Amino acid sequence: MEYLQGLNPSQRAAVECVKGPVMIIAGAGSGKTRVITYRVAHLIRLGIDPFNILVLTFTNKAAREMRERIVGVVGAEAKNIWMGTFHSVFAKLLRVEADKIGYPSNFTIYDTDDSKSLLRAILKEMNLDDKLYSANFVYNRISAAKNNLISWQEYQQNDQIQADDFSGGRGQLGKIYETYAQRCYRAGAMDFDDLLFKTNELLKKNPDVLYKYQNKFKYLMVDEYQDTNYSQYLIVKKLAAINENICVVGDDAQSIYAFRGANIQNILNFEKDYPDLHVFKLEQNYRSTQNIVNVANSIIANNKDQLKKTVYSEKEHGDKIKVMRAFSDNEEGKMVAEAILQEHANKGLRWHDFAILYRTNAQSRSMEEALRKLNIPYKIYGGLSFYQRKEIKDLIAYFRLTYNPHDEAALKRVINYPKRGIGDTTVDRLIVSANQHQISLWEAATDPAKYLDGRTASTVSNFIILIQSFQVIAQTMSAYEAALHIAQHSGLLKDLYEDKSIEGLNRHENIQELLNGIKEFSEREDIEEKGLDVFLQDIALLTNDDNDKNKDADTVSLMTIHSSKGLEFPHVFVVGLEENLFPSQLSLNSRTDLEEERRLFYVGVTRTEHKLTLSYATSRFKFGTLINCEPSRFLDEIDAKFLELDYSAKPATGNPFFDDEKPDNRNKDIFSKPKPSASSPKTTSVLAKAHVPTAGFAPSDMTKLQTGMEVEHERFGFGKVINLEGNKPDIKATIFFKELGQKQLLLKFAKLRIVE
């Protein structure tokens, strides 16, 4: 078994332990994927039938990579493993067993937009205030309930939930949840959360089905176990109950998805479920330099809820971690862009060697502007995916309706696109009739004369005949031929072709790209079923990192830290390290939430291979108002010996860190916070404070300002006016600030105090 030779002792021990419950705690960059793939390959080499192995991941990309590696070790038989994301695996299982819980096997999978669209329709029908009951809020509330396996009946009967809803003025949530669930059921649709919620329901209500899959899946492996929610936890626990050959892999230090329902306690308390657990720790980091690993260790050491491990690296010591201070968010963007340009020019790095990571999407603006000014190519990840574009969703709605005509969201989307004279009033009348008779919208539309006047009924009837013709065609044609036929005969291709605007041409090209993708799908040799319905399920279950196509383009990557998980880059900038931003303001009242923010910072730091830069601004615009910012407490938690400060401006005279004549003072605390007590753990702080305005600061009358005067600015400190130019009201002052150097300010906005 030569494939075992390349593993370190900890990795090999984890691979070879195949019986009983196993937990592999995998530090960042420790070769986790390699261990999972070799462990599965090892099971097959030991004679385990691939049909009896279930591997659950969180992205399709991870599943594909693992399967390819396993095939490379044991051959084509690895294709028989049940492997994929939780949602894709259990969607496949539900296709077989859905009739046992009253669903058709061809159920539609609603994406988030479909679900919110249906909720908006329900809220409108119930005449509810969209400010109090926004579709986003209601969707998140229902999603959280499903992830905790709370049905609409249990939701309505739970006194605590009801008390919370009524105290918040949203006492109709239980009724909305009920209506939403019933409408999905009548439409033969499941939303993303239902794929797990209904799997739990299936296994709970059908012991024979549970027993069947307990005996089928004799060996279970779960990747990223720290990100599982209660629903996922319960499915895995049920399936593993007989054989207990379950292996979970994860890192509690990278648990960052509580907002999606992930429960870190699943991994922290795993041993309570399996007392005879075998635990293996992968602690050698193969990705990052020792300095970066040291910083990451010092950060996560501040968390109380964790499984202890000592991550180390045998790579070079590496550069110290650079900390940059800017005086505004725009200046921060400029400093980051200039640093990237310099590294690119001086060291011959590619643009795609750089990543800029931030806490919130809104922070990308200042970074984008700075990169554009220097003509640095970049790509923002996590934006609108290909399959979320309107024209793509329109054509896919036709496909969905062809295979499941009861799909209400798809029917409403295309019944009048391209325009065929079926207006909103007609659709609303059909919806009301469907609700009154407890039937689907499609069923109401197939008997239009019963609900509509003659001419409108005829138009609706023609649309129904069109969809029925697609249903016949889809049974006899390949996925690509059926898709092309539907695109042409629905009128959608013609409508886009006739729009000669740039946007129209782009939309037409996107449809062609979708059809190309379906043709490629039809010709794949690694799958047996190639129908258009199978293609629909594949794209419905895409995760975010499956949507970005041009990943090899030479561009700087911009993304939130949440989006960066699982990625790595030679040079990473983590920006916006300020209190109330990172950690976020919402996390500061809870130790649990603050620890998740710290884990998020840990994830950002450990994306780095060679060079890490951290930055913060001392002021930032928020909701149109300029606010002063304090450096993040997370920076304070890093020992100064691992850091190198790169401040563009020199702070006040006499600051020991910047006094070249006192190099021995460089590790002294120069941050303006009180010293911690002797009992509290503390590393050396290296942050300098921003200017504090003079007590009673008030801007002076700028008509009195003259060259040579001393002035004070709220953020920039004290300076001297060296030039005035322009005419009222647009006079500009050039001022030399003691801490910043020369700046040019527009007087009507400058808010300067003349020093008497």
User: What residues are paired with 560 via a beta bridge?
Assistant: 358
Is 258 marked as a binding-site residue?
no
Q: Exactly one of 97, 114, 223, 712 is catalytic; name it.
A: 223
Q: Under a CB-based contact definition with an 8 Å cutoff, are residues 733 and 744 in contact?
A: yes
Q: Which two tokens stand for residue 564?
A: 């960066």
Q: Which amino acid is at 17?
A: C
Give all strands (DSSP E) within 503-628, no chain letters.
556-560, 569-574, 608-617, 619-622, 625-628
| CA atoms of 489 and 462, how far apart (whole Å) | 13
Is 425 marked as a binding-site residue?
no
Is 654 marked as a binding-site residue?
no
| CA atoms of 418 and 86, how far apart (whole Å) | 36
Concatenate the DSSP letters of all residues of 461-473 into one string: HHHHHHHHHHHHH
Residue 624, CA atoms < 13 Å, CB-side half-sphere: 0
Does 607 participate in catalysis according to the annotation?
A: yes
Does 413 participate in catalysis according to the annotation?
A: no
- Residue among 129, 131, 164, 130 nearest 145 (CA): 164
Tell me the three state secondary structure of residue 49: coil
- In this structure, the number of other CB atoms found within 10 A of the CB of residue 433 comes to 19
Is 555 marked as a binding-site residue?
no
Query: Which stretch of DSSP H or E encloses residue 197?
Result: helix 194-205
Q: Exactly one of 607, 611, 620, 753 is catalytic; name it.
A: 607
Is 33 marked as a binding-site residue?
yes
User: What residues are paired with 250 via a beta bridge?
Assistant: 25
* Helical H segments across 383-453, by residue range: 390-403, 408-414, 424-436, 441-445
Q: Which residues contact 513 (CB under 8 A, 6 or more apart)?
A: 386
| CA atoms of 537 and 540, how far apart (whole Å) | 5
Tell me the three state secondary structure of residue 437: coil
β 710-713/717-725 pair status: antiparallel
Does 223 participate in catalysis according to the annotation?
A: yes
Is 28 marked as a binding-site residue?
yes
| CA atoms of 344 and 570, how far apart (whole Å) | 12
Q: Which amino acid is at 127?
A: N
Q: Which amino acid is at 507?
A: R
Does 33 participate in catalysis according to the annotation?
A: yes
| CA atoms of 62 and 543, how far apart (whole Å) | 11
44-76 burial by CB neighbour count: b if 16+ within 10 A, else e?
Answer: beeebebebbbbbbbbbbbbeebbebbbebbee
DSSP assigned state of 686? -
Q: Exactly one of 254, 560, 606, 613 is catalytic; name it.
A: 254
Q: Under a CB-based contact definition with an 8 Å cutoff, are residues 669 and 684 in contact?
A: yes
Does 260 participate in catalysis according to the annotation?
A: no
Helix, strand, coil % in the chain, rounded to nearest 5? 50, 15, 35
Backbone angles phi, psi at 716, to 5 degrees: -85, -15
Q: Which residues contact 71 (CB under 8 A, 6 or more apart)?
A: 78, 79
Q: Exactly one of 11, 32, 165, 633 is catalytic; name it.
A: 32
- Residue among 551, 479, 491, 488 nearest 517 (CA): 479
Is 27 marked as a binding-site residue?
yes
- In this structure, the number of other CB atoms found within 10 A of the CB of residue 496 comes to 23
Binding-site entries: 26-33
Binding-site entries for ATP: 26-33
- Active site (catalytic) residues: 32-33, 223-224, 254, 607
